[in-house]
Amino acid sequence: MIDGFNRKIEYLRLSVTKKCMEKCIYCSKDDEKCAVKGEELPAEAFIKIADACAKLHINKVRLTGGEPLLRHDLEEIVRGIYDLNNYKDITITTNAQLLAGKAAALKKAGVNRCNISLDSLKPDVYKEMTGGDLNKVFKGIEAAFNESMLPIKINTVLIKGKNDGEIDDFIELAKQYPLSVRFIELMPVGDMLLTGISNEKIIKEHKYLLPLNTDEKSSGPAKIYTAKGFKGNVGFISPITNCFCSSCNRIRVTSDAYLKPCLGNEAEYSLKEALSLDTNELAKTISEIIRKKPQNHTFSDVFNADRKMKDIGG
């Protein structure tokens, strides 16, 4: 599927729930509202959306949230998408609090790799930033390795005064283990009193990290670096300081059936009526929305997100 700016759209991000057991400070720290029963789509609707997108030659899908592992029918969703035989890449983004007990079943259902959100390697700081249990994350990472859900990518959002003193510790992870640590710049979605860290600053201060020649499609928006003796690599996703809109290949569908062509733009389009149509008509509706995908995000302009990150799926 080619959008209005000649970009090949081939990546679908499905947010299957708004619910999350963590309260990350940049996402939903003070948000006590849970998704209302009936607000989230049933499993068959997500599978139908994936089927319609496959007809548009979209071939990669990521299940996000909220925390997707809170869906009791997540394996059903994964298996339904896998059985479409159109998706070469089915992945999840998770905080890993429940991953240790579910990795094997998810792998069997069709998940081939996962991204794990991890904002601190210190139990007390992790608890402060997310409300979660760091030990459960480590067990989840171990389970993902055991199930060959590879490559494992660690997503880290650096916040000034919180975890920015751990940059070297995260880089050391990539040296010691065959995984990818990805520093993601803080985006203006959520608590705007927080201050992020520029990826340019990190790269400038770690001159031993060298750019790694990678397939741009496999690395997505991340610029990948490594160094001598590293078993893994370090990625930098920089939507604020290094806009990658010209190569954006994704769309997002929220758990309540809204399609967002761009994370950094307020526009979103309901799929609720189209879901009652046959799959070909649904695909036609999605195609028309993709053609409305903006050329660039508006993070640096006037941007007023109505949704928190957990509502969008990141």
Question: Over the stretch 197-239, which tens digit does the pLDDT of each residue have?
Answer: 999 999 999 999 999 976 655 557 899 999 999 999 999 999 8
Using DSSP's 3-state secondary structure scheme, residue 81 falls into helix
Domains along the sequence of the chain with CATH = 11-312 (3.20.20.70)
Asked if residue 195 has pLDDT above 70, the reply is: yes
CA distance 236 to 289: 29
CA distance 242 to 95: 26
Q: How many C-beta atoms surround the C-beta of residue 306 within 10 A? A: 9
Residue 292 token pair? 């409305």
Mean pLDDT of the chain: 91
C-alpha distance from residue 166 to each of 93, 125, 152 (Å)? 22, 10, 20
Q: pLDDT, tens digit, for every residue of 100-134? A: 999 999 999 999 999 999 999 999 999 999 999 99
Residue 71's pLDDT is what? Answer: 97
Residues 154/170, Cβ–Cβ less than 8 Å? yes
Tokens 């990150």, residue?
309
Three-state SS letters, 36-65: CCCCCCCHHHHHHHHHHHHCCCCCEEEEEC
For residue 8, name the pLDDT band (cuts at 50, 70, 90).
very high
Question: What strands lie across the sheet with 258-260, from one edge to the other?
Answer: 210-211, 223-226, 233-237, 180-184, 153-156, 113-117, 89-94, 60-64, 11-15, 250-253, 258-260, 269-270
Residue 307 token pair? 């949704």
For residue 33, name the pLDDT band (cuts at 50, 70, 90).
very low
CA distance 205 to 199: 10
CA distance 98 to 194: 28
Tokens 């399609």, residue?
259
Percent of the chain with pLDDT over 90: 79
Using DSSP's 3-state secondary structure scheme, residue 174 falls into helix
Residue 37's pLDDT is what? Answer: 45
For residue 180, name the pLDDT band (cuts at 50, 70, 90).
very high
Residue type, 206: H
Which region among 38-47, 103-112, 258-267, 301-310 has the lowest average model confidence (pLDDT)? 301-310
Q: Which residues pair with 267 in a beta bridge?
A: none
Q: Which residues pair with 269 in a beta bridge?
A: 259
Q: Which residues contact 112 (CB under 8 A, 6 or more apart)?
A: 89, 90, 91, 149
Ordered alpha helix ranges (H), 157-196? 167-176
Give the pLDDT mean for 174-196.
87
For residue 36, name the pLDDT band (cuts at 50, 70, 90).
very low
